[in-house]
């Protein structure tokens, strides 16, 4: 009996060794370029041993995801049983989901990059795990509707997908530590393509559901570029915390990033460019308490931002280059001309937001869309509102206004 247990323990250890090695190879090369030869080399076992435990590379990949997501499903189940309210359950689930990916960067990159890509041998098998994950979230949303904390008219099935998408989209940019943050392997275009991949996935699951895209801060620049090539697939766009820096300033910033990339490499974290880009943002705030007071008048939200290791880090030269390229493209008339003229757009910002030039840059962005021929563009500026409108003292007002605008758009389309 003891001998059998010893053999089982050894087999389990070998299997885990292969899975860890595979995850490391996939993180290094990507799934398509990972080979069984390389996996067994890193694991330090023979190919025969690998095929004893797994039938193929796809089987190894599926096992990594099945075990990782299985653990997440089990944790969600415990949270659902223990949480006294739906709100607390959902918050704990989202925090758990994000933590799993942040704390296991190799798994996170694989999960985010590969889970929803078509054409993978394991994608259908993963659908069952995906559905169980969504069902647990959906159940809490239904519970929230019963408790009166989730709006009754919302579709729990759709909102569950939206919650998963929110976490995955966030981790696409902030996953891991150090060198991975503020770095865009595919540049500005990759940021836009990621949004398109997510939209295609949701459209596949819910083809008849209205699709709105909300972009905030750098996300607003990604969203505005997204509109150039993919606006026809949207029912509406919300642009928040955006701006319109003078083109000459943006081109100078691009040149500075290019020079630093030439001498220091594109992974260099440029404190110089960071100071030039953000160093003056507190200048209109009397006696600021922190370097990030320009984000919100709500001091507790500023403190949360500062305490979060995934916030406030310095971009790489590559990241700044992507940001500046996204902004410079907003001036190109040939790009603006490709936005569907009937696309509803709602722009919101605060008059105390330095990113938007204290309202002037946002008005300039608004005019650029009107001049491009868009017929349904609305702008609302909130007095004294700073950059993070959804974390501002009047955030409930902002949320209500956005929801009301989206509902109005949907009703007009019938």
Contact 199, 369 (CB under 8 A): no
Percent of all residues in the chain with a pLDDT value above 90, rounded to a whole number: 47
Burial of 342 (0-12, 13-18, 19+ CB in 10 A): exposed
Per-residue pLDDT band for 215 (boundaries 50, 70, 90) equals very high
Per mean pLDDT, which range of 99-103, 265-269, 350-354, 406-410 is the poorest? 99-103
Per-residue pLDDT band for 5 (boundaries 50, 70, 90) equals very low
Contact 235, 210 (CB under 8 A): yes
Q: Is residue 194 scored above 90 in pLDDT? A: no
Per mean pLDDT, which range of 5-19, 175-189, 283-297 is the poorest? 175-189
Tokens linked to 319? 């990241």
Could you give the 3-state DSSP secondary structure of residue 239? strand
Paired sense of beta strands 236-240 and 212-216, if any:
parallel
Return all residues near 225 (Cβ < 8 A) that are at least 6 apart: 188, 192, 326, 329, 330, 335
Q: Is residue 1 scored above 80 in pLDDT? A: no
Domain ranges of the chain: 1-54, 65-176
For the chain, the residue count is 414
The pLDDT tens digits of the residues spanning 217-234 come to: 999 999 999 999 999 989
For residues 359 and 241, what is the distance between their CA atoms, to the nearest angstrom?
Answer: 10
pLDDT of residue 369: 97
Q: Is residue 107 scored above 90 in pLDDT? A: no
The separation between CA 229 and the C-alpha centre of its own chain, rounded to angstroms, equals 20
Residue ranges of the alpha helices (H) in 182-330? 187-205, 218-230, 247-264, 271-278, 299-307, 317-328
Per mean pLDDT, which range of 2-11, 61-70, 192-201, 277-286 is the poorest? 2-11
The pLDDT tens digits of the residues spanning 291-344 come to: 999 999 999 999 999 998 778 889 999 999 999 999 999 999 999 999 999 999
Q: What is the mean pLDDT of residues 103-116?
A: 70
pLDDT of residue 2: 43
- Nearest by Cα to 224 from 243, 250, 208: 243
Per mean pLDDT, which range of 1-10, 53-62, 283-292 is the poorest? 1-10
Q: What is the mean pLDDT of the chain?
A: 87
DSSP letters of 142-208? HHHHHHTSS-TTS-HHHHHHHHHHHHHHHHHHH-SSGGGTT--TTHHHHHHHHHHHHHHHHHHH-TT
pLDDT of residue 178: 43
71-80, 104-113, 160-169, 374-383: range with highest mean pLDDT:
374-383
The pLDDT tens digits of the residues spanning 250-273 come to: 999 889 888 888 888 888 888 889
pLDDT of residue 55: 86
Q: Is residue 4 scored above 50 in pLDDT? A: no
Q: Is residue 131 scored above 60 in pLDDT? A: yes
For residues 275 and 163, what is the distance between their CA atoms, to the nearest angstrom?
Answer: 34
**Higher pLDDT pick, 325 / 206:** 325
Q: What is the mean pLDDT of residues 148-155?
A: 88
For residues 166 and 145, what is the distance between their CA atoms, to the nearest angstrom?
Answer: 20
Domain 1-54 sits in CATH at 1.10.10.60
Question: Is 65-176 the same fold as 1-54?
Answer: no
pLDDT of residue 140: 94
| Residue 39: its H or E element | helix 36-43
What is the DSSP secondary structure assignment for residue 348, as one 8-state letter? E
For residues 357 and 360, what is the distance between their CA atoms, to the nearest angstrom?
Answer: 5
The separation between CA 262 and the C-alpha centre of its own chain, rounded to angstroms, equals 29
Look up the CATH superfamily of 65-176.
Tetracycline Repressor, domain 2 (1.10.357.10)
Q: Is residue 7 scored above 60 in pLDDT? A: no
**Higher pLDDT pick, 380 / 274:** 380
Q: Is residue 154 scored above 50 in pLDDT? A: yes
Q: Is residue 168 scored above 80 in pLDDT? A: no
Q: What is the mean pLDDT of residues 158-183?
A: 68
pTM of the entire predicted model: 0.66
């Amino acid at each position: 009996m003891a001998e059998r247990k010893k053999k089982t323990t050894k087999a389990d250890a070998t299997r885990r060794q292969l899975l860890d090695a595979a995850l490391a190879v996939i993180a290094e090369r990507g799934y398509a370029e990972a080979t069984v030869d390389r996996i067994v080399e890193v694991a330090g076992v023979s190919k025969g041993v690998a095929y004893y435990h797994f039938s193929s590379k796809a089987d190894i990949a599926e096992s990594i995801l099945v075990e990782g997501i299985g653990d997440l499903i089990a944790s969600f189940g415990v949270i659902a049983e223990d949480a006294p309210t739906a709100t607390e359950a959902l918050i704990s689930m989202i925090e758990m989901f994000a933590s799993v990916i942040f704390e296991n960067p190799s798994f996170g990159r694989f999960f985010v990059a590969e889970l929803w890509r078509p054409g993978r041998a394991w994608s259908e098998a993963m659908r069952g795990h995906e559905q169980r994950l969504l069902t647990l979230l959906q159940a809490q949303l239904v519970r929230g509707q019963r408790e009166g904390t989730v709006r009754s008219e919302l579709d729990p099935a759709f909102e569950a997908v939206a919650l998963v998408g929110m976490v995955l989209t966030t981790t696409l940019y902030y996953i891991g530590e150090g060198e991975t943050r503020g770095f865009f392997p595919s540049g500005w275009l990759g940021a836009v393509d990621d949004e398109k991949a997510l939209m295609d996935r949701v459209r596949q699951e819910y083809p008849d559901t209205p699709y709105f895209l909300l972009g905030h801060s750098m996300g607003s620049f990604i969203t505005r570029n997204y509109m150039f090539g993919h606006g026809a697939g949207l029912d509406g766009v919300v642009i928040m915390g955006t701006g319109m820096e003078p083109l000459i300033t943006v081109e100078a910033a691009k040149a500075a990033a290019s020079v630093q990339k030439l001498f220091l490499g594109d992974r260099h974290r440029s404190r110089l460019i960071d100071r030039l880009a953000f160093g003056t943002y507190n200048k209109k705030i009397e006696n600021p308490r922190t370097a990030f007071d320009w984000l919100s008048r709500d001091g507790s939200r500023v403190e949360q931002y500062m305490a979060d290791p995934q916030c406030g880090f310095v971009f790489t030269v590559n990241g700044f280059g992507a940001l500046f390229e996204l902004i410079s493209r907003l001036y190109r008339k040939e790009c603006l001309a490709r936005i569907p003229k009937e696309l509803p757009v709602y722009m919101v910002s605060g008059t105390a937001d330095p990113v938007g030039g204290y309202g002037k840059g946002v008005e300039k962005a608004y005019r650029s869309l009107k001049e491009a021929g868009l017929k349904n563009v609305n702008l609302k500026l909130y007095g004294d509102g700073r950059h993070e409108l959804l974390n501002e003292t009047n955030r409930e007002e902002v949320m209500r206004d956005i929801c009301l605008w989206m509902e109005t758009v949907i009703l007009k389309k019938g």
